[in-house]
Amino acid sequence: MLKIYLLAVVLVVLIGGAATAGSLSGSWVTTAKILPQTFSMSSFSSTLTVDYTVGTWTFRSLSQVDLSGWKSQVFSATGTIGAVSASSHLALDPQSAAFSYWNTSTTVTIAGVSLTGTSNLTSTGIGWTIGAKGSLDNVTLQATAYFNENSSGEVQTGYALCFSRAVFDVQFPFGCVDPVDISVGFSTTDGFDGLTVNLNDIVWDQFPTIAFDIKIEFSLQTEGKVLTITPTLNFPSDGCIILYGEILTGTSVLQITGIHIYGVSLQYSWNGTSFATYSSFDPDKNISVTGKSDYWEKFSIESAGDSCCGGGIQFDIDTYFESGSVALFDWGETDLTLTLGVGSNITVTAGTVFTAQNGFEELSAGLELNW
């Protein structure tokens, strides 16, 4: 693995070697997880990032290693030449000694109009996009043409410069709706692809906690137009009490049958320590409230401060509870994480996972170096 990292560093230096002066920076992040009961390593990840900056350009090497070996290698360059900014990313597959992709993008702004061109080269084909974007007062206009790329932006097989589709977009504020987004598309397969109008986060003064997303689509694939209205709840995300909920709708897009409150959290901070509790009232919404689908309740304690080594220290305890557990108070799992900063360039992490089912289930460790 050391040879891999040394090779990455040498390549980056060689890329910027034509310059007379530059700065070298980067990071090395390594994490490992061990299963104590079997004394086996369940996961390992190590990422080395090396940047060589000279003038307005930065040359980067990003190397990733996991349990399978040298997983990926990406070389990139970003910078500006006058009014032109450019970026290029070359990805290789070390395990099969194969080319993955090469993406290049350039942008120039003239009289307030940004012109962009991109090329996406894969092992089976190449695609291009050409775009222009500009604003006049509060109105933003954008047009993008795609060549040898489908409607999802995926490169098609082949290397011919063949027109695929074009999309025109306009955004502008209208009253309390900001922005109104209108887009129209054309393609070689369908001709007129359709027209879409998006109105997002519409809030009525009478119901400040309820917002609406409205989408209107006109397409040749459907008869007439398709109207989609998505009501959402805008509960405050700060404060000591936070509610989690959603709007219940009926068979009609304009019919609201109720409000579903599926979770609540209580949060409090005192003297550098934060306490929080999360409770889910709906098993299908557990992951949205507690972060894990198996547990309906979570207690968290987070404490942060200065360490003895010139950095910071943070300690987190997350305890989860499940329905029907045989353990005391329906305890299901406890995660402990310690993060210790050594100076400003080194961060050490350690963590453990204990569960009611398996006991001491996981031990993790990590190291991050920055220079």
For the segment 246-262, what is each residue's pLDDT rounded down to a tens digit? Answer: 888 777 756 778 888 99
Domain ranges, ordered by start, for the chain: 111-234, 237-371
Least confident of 73-77, 152-156, 209-213: 209-213
Q: Are 81 and 92 in contact (CB under 8 A)?
A: no
At residue 210, does pLDDT exceed 60? Answer: yes
Average pLDDT over residues 193-211: 77
At 88 the pLDDT is 97
Question: With 70 as the cut, is the pLDDT of residue 7 above it?
Answer: no
Average pLDDT on 112-124 reads: 93
Own/partner contacts of 167-172, CB < 8 Å, gap of 24 or more, are 167/143, 168/142, 168/143, 169/141, 169/142, 169/143, 169/144, 170/139, 170/140, 170/141, 170/142, 171/139, 171/140, 171/142, 172/138, 172/139, 172/140
Distance from C-alpha of 170 to C-alpha of 182, rounded to nearest angstrom? 5
* pTM value > 0.85: no
Confidence of residue 212 (pLDDT cuts 50, 70, 90): confident
pLDDT at 214: 80
pLDDT at 5: 44
Average pLDDT over residues 177-201: 83
Is the per-residue pLDDT at 220 higher than 70? no
- Residue 45 near residue 66, CB atoms below 8 Å: yes
Per-residue pLDDT, 347: 94
Contact (CB, 8 A) for 85 and 114: no
Token couple for 124? 């089976």
pLDDT the model gives residue 9: 46
Give the number of other Cβ atoms within 10 Å of residue 265's Cβ. 19
Say what the pLDDT of residue 223 is. Answer: 56
Among candidate residues 63, 35, 66, the one with its CA nearest the CA of residue 47: 63
In percent, the amount of the chain with pLDDT more than 70 equals: 89
- Residue 151 has what pLDDT? 66
Indicate the pairing of strand 139-147 with strand 126-136: antiparallel
Per-residue confidence band for 56, with pLDDT thresholds at 50, 70 and 90: very high
Pseudo-torsion of CA 269, 272, 273, 275, nearest 10°?
A: 20
Q: For residues 292 and 283, is the Cβ–Cβ distance under 8 A?
A: no
For position 227, what pLDDT does the model report? 67
pLDDT at 61 over 90: yes
79-83, 110-114, 341-345: the lowest-pLDDT one? 341-345
Q: What's the gap between Cα 126 and its chain centre?
A: 26
For residue range 261-313, list pLDDT tens digits in order.
999 999 999 888 999 999 999 999 999 999 999 999 999 999 988 877 778 89
Mean pLDDT, the chain, rounded, equals 86
